[in-house]
Amino acid sequence: MYSCLVSTSERLIESTRELLWDRGYVGTSPKAILERAGAGQGSMYHHFKGKPDLALAAIRRTAEEMRATAAAVLDGPGTPYERIEVYLRRERDVLRGCPIGRLTMDPDVVANDELRAPIDETLDWIRERLAGIVEAGKEQGQFAPSLDGEEIAAAVVATVQGGYVLARASGSPAAFDAGVRGLLSLLAPARSC
């Protein structure tokens, strides 16, 4: 599955990321991690203190990747509305769900402050970035002055995360897309005749 050029610790982290996304924390056994990574039995304990330490490294990597992907869109060109639109419509594996959002439903992750921290930080970062974009849009006259940047940011994140849930429940990305279209229609700048 992995090239010989990829270090064992790197293979372990990447395998854990995939398994956490697919199975959650409890369903991600050390044996499954080692099998997916193509690593020997003692490898995990050579590079990490144990499953929680490896899971933390994997969650941090996923959180960093999610922030980088969001930043590429949110810090990109376009009006505030266009940047939010691109963020909402960007390519996603909707039926697989969000690798960070899915972990918020895992009781073992939520109960562990250390494992939950990168998730909280990432969701907070996205909301803060979105809130700043909304405030900039208000200053430019693109959004109504009555909009609250933090509330709109929370609505955007809730639409994305809720859209994943609805899409997975229905087995179709249509529910995700409908939520995105609905939110964008509420945010759309008024057009003058």
User: Residue ranges of the domains in the chain?
Assistant: 59-187
- pLDDT values of the chain reduced to their tens digit, one per residue, 193 residues: 555 567 899 999 999 999 999 999 999 999 999 999 999 888 888 889 989 999 999 999 999 999 999 999 999 999 999 999 999 999 999 999 999 999 999 999 999 999 999 999 999 999 999 999 999 999 999 999 999 999 999 999 999 999 999 999 999 999 999 999 999 999 997 554 4
What is the spatial distance between Cα 51 and Cα 172, in angstroms, rounded to a whole number? 33
**Residue 117: HSE in the Cβ half-sphere, 13 Å Cα cutoff:** 8
Q: What is the dihedral of CA 93, 9, 19, 112, to 10 degrees?
A: -110
Question: Is residue 103 within a helix (H) or strand (E), and if so which, with residue range?
Answer: none
Q: What is the pLDDT of residue 192?
A: 46
Burial call 5-37: b when 16+ CB within 10 Å, e when fewer: eeebbebbbbbbbbbbbeebbeebebebbbebb
What is the spatial distance between Cα 101 and Cα 108, in angstroms, rounded to a whole number? 14
The two structure tokens encoding residue 189? 């700048």
Residue with tokens 């959650």: 24
First to last CA, the chain: 58
Residue 167, Cβ neighbours under 10 Å: how many? 22
Helix 149-170 with 113-139: angle, nearest 10 deg: 120
Phi, psi angles (nearest 5°) of residue 61: -65, -45
Q: What is the pLDDT of residue 193?
A: 41
**Nearest to 53, CA basis, from 121, 111, 112, 123:** 112
Q: What is the pLDDT of residue 5?
A: 63
CATH class as words, domain 59-187: mainly alpha
The two structure tokens encoding residue 168? 């997975």
